[in-house]
Amino acid sequence: MRHEWSSQLTFILAAVGSAVGLGNIWKFPYITGEYGGGVFILAYLFCICLIGLPIMLAEISLGRRGKQSPVNTMLQLSQEAGANPAWSLLGWSGMVAGCLILSYYSVIAGEVMAYSFRASSGMFNHQTADGIKGIYTSLVSDPEKLLAWHTIFMSLTVLSVAKGVRGGLEKTVTFLMPALLVLLIILVLYARTTGGFEQAIDFMFTPDTDKFFYARNDLGNYLMDANGDKIFTWEPMMVAMGHAFFTLSLGMGAIMMYGSYLNRHVSIGKMTLIIVSLDTLVALLAGLAIFPLVFANGLNPAAGPGLIFETLPLAFGNMTDGALIGTFFFVLLFFAALSSAISLIEPSVAWLIESKGLRRIKATVWVGTVVWFIGIGTIFSFSGTTLQDIFQPLFSWVGFEHIELSQTFSKYNFFTAIDFFTASIMLPIGGLLIAVFAGWVMHQDSTEREFSFRSRHVYPVWQFMVRYVSPFLVLMVFLNIIGIFKF
């Protein structure tokens, strides 16, 4: 028999474990910094409420009804609704997105592991901002070190998933998630004493529309068109929407997979609300811990993916018992990353078991190896390899020496390209299809039964959201990007 979560609480914990991860603590602060703060956070919160919440409900209920890996769940549900079996492509693109995301997620998680050792060795004690930055630069420009940590993290992910998703996850999340929350609160309290707190609040919660809507270069200066006007861009909106999907683990079947282990009798509305609120709380706390340090030390909020590694160690180096607290922090962050990584790989593993008859261990090792290979691309990105460097030899090889990547693409490296493509394109499209499937394709009595809401009013609200509001918003952002219409 297929096992189920041992209780409703376990499901919540597993889903929170999947949602809360590097996305909240590493990614949210650095993209907020890059896109100018206030308006970005508003856009993100807006997407969480109007797109994330309804789509999470949809994804959980599809999974619970299908009771299989996303590919087979979509096959079965489309059959049940008399729809085209091509809906299972949703499951396929989810497996691809999950593996691509995990490939770089593991490299960053590796950096987190490296930092837990550095914190415990007292390396951060009484360092200056420049010293801390140097420590980060020396790690990311050393490919062998990154590779070693990436390999260790992937092996641990494979080990945890090979044992079966339930066992390890339940224990990890029950104790370690609350501990991470407490530690974040301590860090916010410390950040209040640094003198940068007010500036941080201002940065995070005062909308500055220029920084959000107009394109800037790497130095933060506005780009101008031929007439000397600033250039309007939808990229930040796309990143904000993509991040709403990313941070809630939506749009690729991870939550669908977890929903499939959920038993029939629990009501999913309240659970979804808890998962989404906790996830958002953790992200905002991370911002409140990091930005005061940025401003108090005169650092650049748009420092990019290194932001947490260049700010938090400053705090650990200067507070009493900083080595201990710092070690705890990075160890807990490592566990948060592990519980997210598990959910990124599980849909592919479950599919290999169901459809190809592989044993769990074999399936996990296969997927893990593929992901590990792709991760090497991200390692080279950190040491400075751009997409241009990768494509140029390929172009010359086939005899087109003079082709160069266009300006839009030349700013990307392997890591930023995969990140943008998965989080800002694949996840929203996956989410859009999930909403359309749940709202329009499935029979109303099937979805209604899955919901079993106590209150009669919630179902119609949800249905309206997945039918009209969420798909419309996702489409709006996309249509603007490809320039079909202009706001």
Task: List interacting residues with ligand TRP (CB under 6 A).
Answer: 18-19, 21-24, 101, 246-247, 249, 252, 254, 340, 343-344, 427
> What is the three-class DSSP state of 473?
helix
DSSP calls for 357-397: ---HHHHHHHHHHHHHHHHHHHHHHHTT--HHHHHHHHHHH
| First vs last C-alpha separation in the chain | 53
Q: Which is nearer to ligand TRP, 99 or 303 (CB)?
A: 99
Q: Which is nearer to ligand TRP, 29 or 317 (CB)?
A: 29
Minimum CB separation of residue 340 from ligand TRP in Å reads 4
Q: Which is nearer to ligand TRP, 422 or 463 (CB)?
A: 422
Q: Which is nearer to ligand TRP, 123 or 284 (CB)?
A: 284
HSE-up of residue 135 (Cα within 13 Å, Cβ side): 24
The C-alpha atoms of residue 262 and residue 254 are separated, in whole angstroms, by 13
Specify whether the CB–CB gap between 345 and 99 falls below 8 A. Answer: yes
- 125 DSSP assignment: T
Cα of 85 vs its chain's centroid, Å: 29
Q: Which is nearer to ligand TRP, 314 or 434 (CB)?
A: 434
Q: Encode 264-274: b = buried (16+ Cβ within 10 Å), e = exposed.
A: eeeebbebbee
Structure tokens, 111: 């950096």
The C-alpha atoms of residue 370 and residue 209 are separated, in whole angstroms, by 41
Report the helix count and the strand count for the chain, using DSSP H and E: 25, 0
Q: Which is nearer to ligand TRP, 254 or 350 (CB)?
A: 254
CA-atom Rg of the chain in angstroms? 22
Q: Which is nearer to ligand TRP, 39 or 108 (CB)?
A: 108
Minimum CB separation of residue 55 from ligand TRP in Å reads 12
Q: Which is nearer to ligand TRP, 247 or 386 (CB)?
A: 247
Specify whether the CB–CB gap between 332 and 180 falls below 8 A. Answer: yes
Minimum CB separation of residue 317 from ligand TRP in Å reads 26
Q: Encode 44-60: b = buried (16+ Cβ within 10 Å), e = exposed.
A: bbbbbebbbbbbbbbbb
Q: Which is nearer to ligand TRP, 311 or 340 (CB)?
A: 340
Minimum CB separation of residue 18 from ligand TRP in Å reads 5
Minimum CB separation of residue 98 from ligand TRP in Å reads 6
Minimum CB separation of residue 265 from ligand TRP in Å reads 26
Nearest to 272 by CA among 436, 60, 44, 17: 60
Q: Which is nearer to ligand TRP, 51 or 132 (CB)?
A: 51
Minimum CB separation of residue 19 from ligand TRP in Å reads 5
Specify whether the CB–CB gap between 267 and 452 falls below 8 A. Answer: yes
Minimum CB separation of residue 285 from ligand TRP in Å reads 14
Q: Which is nearer to ligand TRP, 23 or 70 (CB)?
A: 23
Q: Which is nearer to ligand TRP, 19 or 314 (CB)?
A: 19
For the four alpha carbons of 451, 454, 459 and 465, in that order, the dihedral sign comes to negative
The C-alpha atoms of residue 269 and residue 275 are separated, in whole angstroms, by 10
The C-alpha atoms of residue 108 and residue 344 are separated, in whole angstroms, by 15
The C-alpha atoms of residue 350 and residue 68 are separated, in whole angstroms, by 8
Nearest to 75 by CA among 354, 435, 359: 354
Minimum CB separation of residue 431 from ligand TRP in Å reads 10
Minimum CB separation of residue 337 from ligand TRP in Å reads 7
Residue with tokens 């792709």: 374
**Nearest-CB residue for ligand TRP:** 23
Minimum CB separation of residue 111 from ligand TRP in Å reads 14
Minimum CB separation of residue 254 from ligand TRP in Å reads 4
For the four alpha carbons of 249, 251, 253 and 255, in that order, the dihedral sign comes to positive
Cα 439-440-441 angle, rounded to 5 deg:
115
